[in-house]
Structure 1
C-alpha cells in the first residue's frame, strides 16, 4: 500500500516535539508504515491548518499550550468536524477524565515512555491486524475486514473495494499486490480486473452472480479451472457451515 499516515505534533516545547517525533519514527518504521510528521509550536496554526485541510490521521496534542488548554483545542477541532485520533501529552493526569469528552485515543504522561507510546499506537492502528485492509481517508483511517468485502475491482492505477454494506472504497495500488497481501481461501482471482470473495457468490454461469445481483467477470480461457475452484469452495463451505448464512441472506 502507498497510503501515508499524516501525523501532527503540537507542543510548545521543542524538546518534547523532538521526543515524540523520534518515537513516531521508530514505531512506524518498525511497522513498515509510511508516514509524515508536521510539528506545531502553537495551537493557533494547528487549528487553522485543520480548518483548511483536515488532513491529519493522528494529532499528538500537549495539554498545556500557549493560550489554550489542549482540551479546549480538541473541543474546537471536534466541533469543526475533525474525526481523526487525538492523543494528549501532559506532565499531569489532571485532565485525563475530561479527555474522554473529546473521544481521545490516548493520554501520555511526560517524561515519555516508548513502551506506553507503542501501546497507544497499537490500539489506534489495531486495524493493521490480520484479515484487515487499511483504507486511508482524507482525515481518518478506516479498517475493512475481509469478511465485509464482496470483491475488489482493478481500475487503472487504483483498486475499488466493493463491500457488503454497499460502500466502495478506493486504494491506489495494483490488484496483483492486493492479491498477494490477502491470504484467504475465500478470495479467488477470477479475471484480470477482479478478485472475488466466493462467500458472496450466489451462482456461476459464464460469470459470477453475487448475492446482490452484481456481475463479476470470469476469465474465459480459465473458466473450467475457476468453476472447479468455486465448486470445491462450495463443497467445503457446506461441510463447515459457511455456506448456510449466505444462502439464506
Structure 2
C-alpha cells in the first residue's frame, strides 16, 4: 500500500485534492491501493516526509528544499498557485510533476502515473538523475557502488558508469529493498554478484574475481546476510 500525503495552506483545497487522489488511484494501479493523509503544517510535513511515498506539496518555492533534504526517497509533486517562475531552481528536488488550480483529474492522474511508473522502474533499475537527465541502470548489471570524494560511481559488469554527487548512505537507503549490502564506508555491494565471503581476509569476492573489503564495523551484519543467502564462506577463522 502506497502512502500519499497532501500539504496545502488552503485546507479546503487540500481536502478536495486528497479525495480526488484516493478516487483516481485505482485507475493507475489495480494491484495496489493507497492511503491519503492531509498534513496540517509544513513542520509536520518535514518531520514526517520519510513516512510517505508521495507528497503533493503546496508553496514549493518555499518548502520543497526542506522536504527533499528531510527525505531523499519520498517523491514530490508541486501544487502551484499560478506562479511558475523560479521552478528551474527546484529541479534538484526531482518533482514528478505540477498541478495548477482548478485541479482537473487529468493533472492528478498524470502525477500518479509518473509515480507508479517510477516506482515500478526501481524494482528493475537504479535510477540516476545527472545533468538534469534521467538514466536507468539495470540492477543485475551493477556489481557495486564506490564512493570517492563525495561522488558515487556505479561499477558495472561492463565497466564504470558516470558518477553522480551523493552520499553513499543515501544510495544505501534508496536500495534497502533491492538486494544491496553496505560492507565498507566506501562500498555498497550488489548481493546478486557476491560469490564468496573470505572471513580470514575480511573481504567479499564478487563476479569477475573482484575483491571488496569488509570493514570491522560492517563485518557482523555482512556475515549474517551472506550466511542467510547461501553464499560460500571461505577461510574460517
Normalised by the length of structure 2, the TM-score is 0.49
Work out which of the two has the higher radius of gyration on C-alpha atoms and give 1 or 2. 1
**More strand by proportion, 1 or 2?**
2
